[in-house]
Amino acid sequence: MVSVVGVRFRPAGRIYYFDASGFTLKTGQYVIVETSRGAEAGRVVIAPKQVEASELSEPLKPVIRVATEDDLRQMLAFKAREKESLARCATRVTYHGLPMKLVEAEYSFDGSKLTFYFTAEERVDFRALVRDLAALFRTRIELRQIGARDHAKMLGGIGPCGKTLCCSSWLTEFSVVSIRMAKEQGLPLNPSKISGVCGRLMCCLAYENEQYLEAKRGMPAIGSYVDTPSGPGKVVGVNVPKEAVDVMLESGVTIQITVRELQASRRTIEGDGNGGNGCRSGGGCRCRKSPEQ
């Protein structure tokens, strides 16, 4: 059995797992762990639990020790120097004329490494800049290029909904978001309406997409023909939140009727305009082909 603990290095950041064998840890504690980039300080967010070694895809890196008060004071001292370091780095970027935009500076807990995050339209040759910064700060320098979404996650802000950005408050990983999700939810395809502060499609488009797809499976499709209490008509719109459809009657008037009402009348009829004929309202309804056939 292996004692596995979940550690987070940044607020709303991804959780990484380490071997905590030999340590008694609680959530909220800071620990020094071994990572691929050297020793780092992180906060325990998932208490240790016993896991079979066979369940691990690869050996976990170990927890080195519990962070001491001196470690925490040292970490806060370097944290206070990050804004100044970012400004000094920006001056050197301008001097070298590099097409990059600095986002954030981050010291390791003991100051042995200073990482600068930046955005750029393309790859940047920053070798000369790294040498310059190493001489200026007298520590190991790392420059890391990030995307637009990571940029927004680091800076934070308020979304169109009026709440703190999901990515900077609780979202740990970015999921795939496509324009098809906006279409499925009947949202306007205006980029300014469905894009976040990062300029990419809003992450929240993916939150309810599966529910929309599931709900639509039980609703008449747009273009199908149905009989309503007001007469036969063609489905011209679907309102998933209201569980209703917009139906254009033969008179040209458009009405909104709930799926429940259609099912209760047992007269929902579907026609795909290509000779197909089927019913989505369940057994017992009276189906016919569309007038266009």
pLDDT single digits (tens) 212-238? 999 998 888 889 988 888 888 899 989
Residues of the chain under the 70 pLDDT cut: 265-293
Tell me the two tokens of residue 195. Answer: 């894009």
The pLDDT of residue 137 is 96
Which one-letter amino acid corresponds to residue 36? S
Q: What is the pLDDT of residue 263?
A: 76
Instruction: Report whether 151 contacts 103 (CB < 8 A).
Output: yes
pTM of the predicted structure, to 2 decimals? 0.75
Predicted confidence (pLDDT) per residue in 99-135, tens digit: 999 999 999 999 999 999 999 999 999 999 999 999 9
pLDDT on residue 229:
83
For residue 282, the model assigns a pLDDT of 41
Task: Name the residue among 36, 42, 47 with its Cα closest to residue 66.
Answer: 42
CA 102 to chain centre: 23
Q: How many CB atoms lie within 10 A of CB 188?
A: 9
Per-residue model confidence (pLDDT) at position 230: 84
Domains of the chain: 2-67 (no CATH), 78-146 (3.30.300), 150-209 (no CATH), 218-278 (2.30.30.60)
Residue type for position 182: A
